[in-house]
Amino acid sequence: RKGVDLKTIEECFRALCCKGPPPARPEYDLVCIGLTGSGKTSLLSKLCSESPDNVVSTTGFSIKAVPFQNAILNIKELGGADNIRKYWSRYYQGSQGVIFVLDSASSEDDLETARNELHSALQHPQLCTLPFLILANHQDKPAARSVQEVKKYFELEPLARGKRWILQPCSLDDMEALKDSFSQLINLLEEKDHEAVRM
């Protein structure tokens, strides 16, 4: 019988015993805004594998830790009612990124309001340098506007030039696309992290 190579035993031992805990995933604090009915709570619940069936509109704010393979997103979702939106800016401090959810099948009036709110957020001193993920939700509805229509109507090209932003279509029916949108946002957050380290 051949003798067992001591080096092989040593390598096996090291692989088994010296592996150590996996590296900690980075955590990012994000703020999620959008009008009431845009679908913020339902999307976040689905990402957390909770049933969106019994979702109630957020009246103040709620916080969810949403785990992804390479990061954990601590998302502070702010209610979108008229009487709450004026207080949004009080909750912006400490945010590292922004999720803006809009109902792409909403009325012209609501879309106009959403556009004004997004413009305010993009220009707010505490948010203007942060990565934005803009989700055109309810793409499964017949009246949904396409991403191109949303981009044009919201005047994103001129307004957000030089900023880091992603505009993606989404619906509760397509979780893969939603997760992919968040992966792109995580990439932007990591890039911003690396830039801060280099400075």
Binding residues for GTP: 34-41, 80, 137-140
- Token representation of residue 93: 């401090």
Distance CA 167, CA 147 (A): 7
**Helices and strands counted in the chain (H then E):** 7, 6
Residue 45's nearest CA partner among 177, 175, 133 is: 175
Annotated binding site: 34-41, 58, 80, 137-140
Least Cα distance to 151 among 162, 142, 160, 139 occurs for 160
Question: Binding site for Mg(2+): what residues are annotated?
Answer: 41, 58
Q: Do residues 151 and 157 make contact, with C-beta atoms less than 8 angstroms apart? A: yes
Burial 22-55 (b: 16+ CB within 10 A, else e): eeeeeebebbbbbbbebbbbbbbbbbeeeeeeeb
The DSSP string of 3-68 is: PPPHHHHHHHHHHHHS--SPPPPPEEEEEEE--TTSSHHHHHHHHTT--GGG----SSEEEEEEE-
What DSSP letter does each residue of 22-39 carry, written as one string? PPPPPEEEEEEE--TTSS
